[in-house]
Amino acid sequence: MLLPFFLRSLEAAMIFTFAGLGELVNQRSGVLNVGIEGMMLFGATVGFIVAQSSGSYVAGFLAGAAVGLLLGLLHAFFSITLRVDQVVSGMGIWIFGFGVTTYLGAPHAGPLGMERLQTLFGISPFVYVAVALTLVTWFVLQRTSLGLALRAAGETPAVAEVSGINVTRLRYLATAFGGLMGGFAG
């Protein structure tokens, strides 16, 4: 009786695991992204519309991730290149996402009309993907030179630049990854 509830709760939590991993990489590079929720909204809306019109879950997830990636790059442009306050840029994306997705999603409200994804041992495949991505993210951040460079860019960007790390490029990549994960989470 309690096991099905636990499994459904675990599946629901995976949404936030994907977004949280993206935000973790974002913040490790020194960029705060409070607009991750707006990216999730955009990813969910675009993904739903694409999946509904194409009949393909894969196309929907790819479209959601792609729109998240674009919004991540937009946030990176405002925050890194234009040096707009990161909270203001993120809140702008969140508010924009809330408004636009409400407008775009309204005509498509209702059930998707597709079969549920198959489970593996009664658990959504996204649970397995989230656990694997969590382990890979930990490994990359803690055990690789890329992780060291990300941490250096976030904690001491001046020292990272002197060490030969292109902090701007690394922050762009991290923010794009964060947006991609936010869009995928949606």
- 141-184: pLDDT as tens digits: 999 999 999 999 999 999 999 999 999 999 999 999 999 999 99
Percent of the chain with pLDDT over 90: 69
Average pLDDT, the chain: 90
Separation of alpha carbons 144 and 2, rounded Å:
40
Count other Cβ atoms within 10 Å, centred on residue 179.
Answer: 33
Across 4-104, the runs of DSSP E, i.e. the strands, are none
Indicate yes or no: pTM above 0.85: yes
Domains of the chain by residue range: 15-110+124-185
* Token pair recorded at residue 176: 């794009």
Contact between 23 and 36 (Cβ < 8 Å)? yes
* Token pair recorded at residue 114: 């597709």
What does the pLDDT look like over 63-94, one tens digit per residue?
999 999 999 999 999 999 999 999 999 999 99
Q: Please compute, for residue 12, the number of CA atoms within 13 A of its CA located in the half-sphere on the CB side.
A: 6
pLDDT band at 112; cut points 50, 70, 90: low
- What's the pLDDT at 13? 87
pLDDT band at 117; cut points 50, 70, 90: low
